[in-house]
């Protein structure tokens, strides 16, 4: 026999059905070995998915920029919030002064001229702030806020003058 005939006969040899079944189950029942991921495999994965990676990184960058811009110190939203807070404080001070004026026994009579002068100044500042607010809402927000802060300071001074 020559070698080619032997190879043809070996080619036609098939395993027993029971042996094939047991071998298949044995192979499938074995758990795969935990493979450690190498840096090269990570770079391969990134190169395959670089479009998705780039798109997600760009999205995160845009999100960070938008969020950081909304919290800048000169942001109009923060100025409006600060102005609203000062207005609420002014309303509380005016309510306190109204209560003190209703109870004349608690008023320091000697300070009435100073109180009147400060009230006139507060009225002037609040009118100027209202005019700024109505005319140029976006342009003069800082100036509007300064006028309200000055009025708040004068009201605090008036409150301290009212009490003996």
pLDDT tens per residue across span 102-129: 766 566 677 778 878 888 888 888 888 7
What is the three-state SS of 96-159? HHHHHHHCHHHECHHHHHHHHHHHHHHHHHHHHHHHHHHHCCCCCHHHHHHHHHHHHHHHHHHH
2 in a structural domain: no
61 and 116 in a single domain? The answer is no
145 in a structural domain: yes
128 and 144 in a single domain? The answer is yes
Counting Cα atoms < 13 Å in the Cβ hemisphere of 5 gives 2
Which DSSP symbol is given to 163? Answer: B
133 in a structural domain: yes
Digit-coded pLDDT (tens) for 60-97: 888 777 766 655 555 556 666 777 777 777 777 777 77
150 and 87 in a single domain? The answer is yes
60 and 97 in a single domain? The answer is no
55 and 99 in a single domain? The answer is no
pTM equals: 0.45
8 in a structural domain: no
98 and 149 in a single domain? The answer is yes
158 and 80 in a single domain? The answer is yes
Number of structural domains (the chain) is 2
Give CA torsion, residues 144, 148, 153, 154, to 10 deg: 110
89 and 153 in a single domain? The answer is yes
32 in a structural domain: no
139 in a structural domain: yes
Residue 150 domain boundaries:
76-162
52 and 104 in a single domain? The answer is no
64 and 131 in a single domain? The answer is no
What's the pLDDT at 155?
A: 79
């Amino acid at each position: 026999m020559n070698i080619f005939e032997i190879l043809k006969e070996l080619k036609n040899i098939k395993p027993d059905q029971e042996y094939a079944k047991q071998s298949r189950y044995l192979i499938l029942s074995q758990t795969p070995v935990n493979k450690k991921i190498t840096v090269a495999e990570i770079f391969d994965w990134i190169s395959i998915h670089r479009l998705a990676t780039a798109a997600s990184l760009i999205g995160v960058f845009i999100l960070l920029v938008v969020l950081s811009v909304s919290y800048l110190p000169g942001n109009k939203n923060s100025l409006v919030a600060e102005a609203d807070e000062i207005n609420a404080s002014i309303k509380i001070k005016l309510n306190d002064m109204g209560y003190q004026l209703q109870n004349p026994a608690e008023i320091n009579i000697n300070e009435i001229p100073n109180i009147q002068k400060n009230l006139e100044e507060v009225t002037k500042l609040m009118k100027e702030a209202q005019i700024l607010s109505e005319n140029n809402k976006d342009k003069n927000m800082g100036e509007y806020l300064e006028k309200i802060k000055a009025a708040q300071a004068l009201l605090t001074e008036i409150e301290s003058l009212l009490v003996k």
